[in-house]
């Protein structure tokens, strides 16, 4: 398995379509936005095939990790954790960032806590799915 920064936004969108739209029922209007062009995209591949992705945005002193997904057959294999570690490493290289933030689906907060994130704020709905904001101070 390999994780690299990519310009292949279509491969990332195809993964997001499979996981968010087809599996989780997120509407296309909620999944597709105008931020892909300004984002840093990470792509996880296994034997050359895309299996996971994450989208990184820089907002002032905050790096935002979002659109994290892994294909169903690769979940539980460490791909997701490797993606988050790669995202943190990538954003640590951005000058001036003081904190990383992500919106975790509520059932996955323990996964992110093991990677150093902590929950902040109240639970909220995003695309009809319960979420919690989580942060990691740099």
Residue 113 bridge partners (DSSP): none
Exposed (0-12), middle (13-18) or buried (19+): which is 70, by Cβ within 10 Å?
buried
Nearest CA among 41, 49, 117 for reference residue 86: 41
Domains and CATH numbers, the chain: 2-137 (3.40.630.30)
The span from the CA of 51 to the CA of 42, in Å, is 11
Q: What is the mean pLDDT of residues 69-88?
A: 97
At 38-65, the pLDDT tens digits run: 999 999 999 999 999 999 999 999 999 9
At 79-138, the pLDDT tens digits run: 999 999 999 999 999 999 999 999 999 999 999 999 999 999 999 999 999 999 999 999
């Amino acid at each position: 398995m390999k994780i690299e920064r990519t310009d292949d936004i279509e491969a990332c969108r195809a993964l997001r379509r499979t996981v968010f739209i087809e599996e989780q029922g997120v509407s296309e209007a909620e999944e597709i936005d105008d931020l892909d062009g300004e984002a840093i995209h990470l792509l996880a591949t296994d034997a050359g095939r895309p299996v996971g992705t994450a989208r990184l945005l820089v907002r002032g002193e905050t790096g935002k990790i979002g659109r994290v997904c892994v294909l169903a057959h690769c979940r539980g294999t460490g791909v997701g954790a490797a993606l988050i570690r790669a995202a943190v490493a990538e954003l640590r290289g951005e000058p001036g960032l003081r904190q990383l933030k992500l919106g975790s689906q509520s059932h996955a907060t323990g996964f992110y806590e093991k990677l150093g994130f902590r929950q902040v704020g109240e639970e909220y709905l995003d695309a009809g799915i319960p979420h919690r904001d989580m942060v990691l101070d740099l």
